[in-house]
């Protein structure tokens, strides 16, 4: 189920729903840790529940953990959802055949959350009639897969989520007070996990206020710790650390050095500063959703940037 305070993403949600109108679909929601991929995936699944009467099955693929779920383990979970007493074959080929056989002819929706890469899900592609929703931080492609790259919330949506989480009964305040909420949302980078933690802190801390809390968050050296972990399963630091821990030592070195750039930058600047010939490490960081790339034109070279909170995290690591 999506969180009770699920906010925004209406256009994203409607656009994704359109892909399910006439046939089965494979949808991939990709983005940095804490951007709300899982929340949107659950909201999408809830909207689709009547179209898949024979089951909506959730599997946590643990892609950013030390031991991602194997395809065989995921297949076993799906099979047991329909046939809990069935003895499962030990061979991978036999298990894969049974997986497809169990799903064959059904209208089912699979949600694979936190996928590591394409190799983890290739064997889980369902037969015709079934659909698949994937969430991941890693950039990859599969035949027929529609990718939705999620960014942070728009400022109005960010303020709405922040105020709802803070327990404000009627979102929206007049004048300068509303500007304080906007500044607070910007200091959280409009990142859903940070907004929820900040809102929960305000809801649970009687002696604080948006103005006082904003003063605390303005100090970059203390911002990630000040946002805290109130009201969230994984805080901002944990979200970023899960991605950082998957990097090779050389890519992690380049990531730390990227905090030198206070704004966007091009590949040549990164190559010179980070000694990353061919900016291969930067490309890997973009694939891990730790760096973002925006093309300025169809043929023009684009520019990279780090989300403010990611930059602060990299600076802390440096």
Determine what percent of the chain is predicted with pLDDT higher than 70: 94
Separation of alpha carbons 192 and 178, rounded Å: 19
Does 193 have pLDDT greater than 70? yes
- The long-range contacts involving 247-250, CB below 8 angstroms and separated by at least 24 positions, are 247/284, 247/285, 247/288, 247/290, 248/284, 250/281
Based on its alpha-carbon atoms, the radius of gyration of the chain, rounded to whole angstroms, reads: 21
Question: For the segment 73-95, what is each residue's pLDDT rounded down to a tens digit?
Answer: 999 999 999 999 889 998 999 99
State mean pLDDT over 258-281. 96
CATH, residue 20 = 3.40.50.300
139 belongs to a structural domain: yes
* In a shared domain, residues 121 and 14: yes
194 and 274 housed in the same domain: no
pLDDT tens digit string along 145-161?
999 999 999 999 999 99
**Is residue 174 pLDDT above 70, yes or no?**
no
167 and 191 co-located in one domain: yes
| Residue 43 belongs to a domain | yes
**Per-residue b/e over 18-51, b at no fewer than 16 CB within 10 Å?**
ebbeeebbbbbbbbbbbbbbbbbbbbbbeebeee
Measured distance CA(179)–CA(120) in Å, rounded: 45
Q: Would the pLDDT of 170 be above 90?
A: no
Give the per-residue pLDDT at 295: 84
Task: Work out the pLDDT band at 166, boundaries 50, 70, 90.
Answer: very high
Residue 4 falls inside a structural domain: no
Q: Tell whether 242 is covered by a domain.
A: no
Which CATH number is 309's domain given?
1.10.10.10
Does residue 164 share a domain with residue 56?
Answer: no
- Which of residues 234, 255, 271 is at a domain's end? 234
What is the model's pLDDT at position 177? 82
The secondary element (H helix, E strand) that includes residue 17 is helix 10-18
Look-up of token digits 């709405």: 160
Cα-based torsion angle of the residue sequence 67, 69, 71, 72 in order, rounded to the nearest 10 degrees: 100
Residue 12, CA distances (Å) to 17, 40, 153 in order: 9, 9, 11
Q: Which domain holds residue 162?
A: 155-234
DSSP code for 125: P
Same domain as 168, residue 143: no
In whole numbers, what is the pLDDT of the chain averaged over residues? 92
Same domain, 62 and 170: no
Boundary-marking domain end, from 130, 149, 168: 149
Please report which confidence band the pLDDT of residue 242 belongs to, taking 50, 70 and 90 as the band edges.
very high
What is the count of structural domains for the chain? 3
Q: CA-to-CA distance for 107 and 85, rounded, in angstroms?
A: 22
Give the end of a domain, one of 117, 149, 181.
149
97 lies in the same domain as 214: no
Q: How many CB atoms lie within 10 A of CB 251?
A: 20
Top-confidence residue, 298 or 35: 35
Asked if residue 112 belongs to a domain, the reply is yes
CA trace torsion 186, 192, 196, 198 (10° rounding): -20
Are 126 and 73 in the same domain? yes
DSSP of 22-45, one letter per residue?
Answer: SS--EEEEE-STTSSHHHHHHHHH
pLDDT at 167: 87
Distance of CA 217 to the CA centre of its chain: 23
39 and 78 fall within a common domain: yes
Phi, psi (rounded to 5 degrees) for 253 = -65, -45
Q: What confidence tier does 134 reach under pLDDT thresholds 50, 70, 90?
A: very high
Strand, helix or coil for residue 260: helix
Higher per-residue pLDDT: 67 or 170? 67
> Is 239 part of a structural domain of the chain?
no
Q: What angle do CA 133, 136, 137 make, to 5 degrees?
A: 160
Structural domain includes residue 175: yes
In a domain, 2, yes or no: no
Based on the fold, state whether residues 38 and 135 are members of the same structural domain.
yes
Q: Are residues 98 and 196 in the same domain?
A: no
Residues 14, 127 within the same domain: yes
Would you state the pLDDT for residue 297? 66
At 214 the pLDDT is 94
For the cut 90, the answer to whether the pLDDT of residue 195 exceeds it is yes
């Amino acid at each position: 189920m999506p969180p009770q305070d699920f906010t925004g993403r209406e256009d994203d949600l409607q656009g994704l729903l359109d892909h399910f109108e006439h046939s089965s679909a494979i949808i991939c929601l990709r983005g940095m840790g804490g951007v709300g991929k899982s929340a949107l995936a659950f909201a999408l699944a809830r909207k689709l529940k009547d179209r898949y009467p024979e089951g909506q099955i959730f599997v946590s693929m643990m892609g950013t953990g030390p031991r991602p779920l194997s395809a065989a383990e995921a297949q076993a979970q799906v099979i047991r959802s329909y046939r809990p007493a069935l003895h499962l074959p030990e061979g991978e080929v036999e298990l894969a055949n049974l997986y497809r056989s169990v799903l064959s002819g059904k209208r089912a929706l699979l949600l694979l959350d936190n996928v590591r890469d394409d190799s983890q899900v290739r064997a889980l592609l369902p037969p015709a009639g079934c659909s698949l929703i994937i969430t991941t931080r890693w950039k990859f492609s599969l035949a027929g897969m529609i990718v939705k790259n999620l960014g942070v919330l728009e400022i109005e949506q960010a303020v709405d989520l922040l105020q709802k989480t803070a327990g404000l009964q009627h979102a929206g305040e007049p004048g300068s007070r509303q500007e304080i909420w906007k500044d607070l949302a910007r200091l959280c980078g409009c990142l859903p996990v940070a907004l929820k933690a900040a809102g929960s802190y305000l809801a649970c801390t009687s002696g604080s206020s948006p103005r006082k809390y904003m003063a605390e968050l303005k100090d970059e050296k203390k911002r990630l710790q000040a946002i805290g972990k109130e009201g969230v399963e994984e805080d901002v630091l944990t979200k970023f650390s899960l991605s950082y821990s998957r990097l090779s030592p050389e890519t992690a070195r380049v990531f730390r050095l990227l905090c030198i750039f206070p704004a966007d930058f091009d590949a040549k600047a990164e190559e010179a500063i980070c000694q990353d010939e061919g900016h291969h490490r930067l490309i890997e960081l973009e694939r891990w959703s730790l760096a973002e790339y925006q093309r300025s034109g169809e043929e023009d070279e684009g520019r990279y940037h780090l989300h403010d909170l990611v930059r602060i995290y990299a600076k802390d690591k440096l």
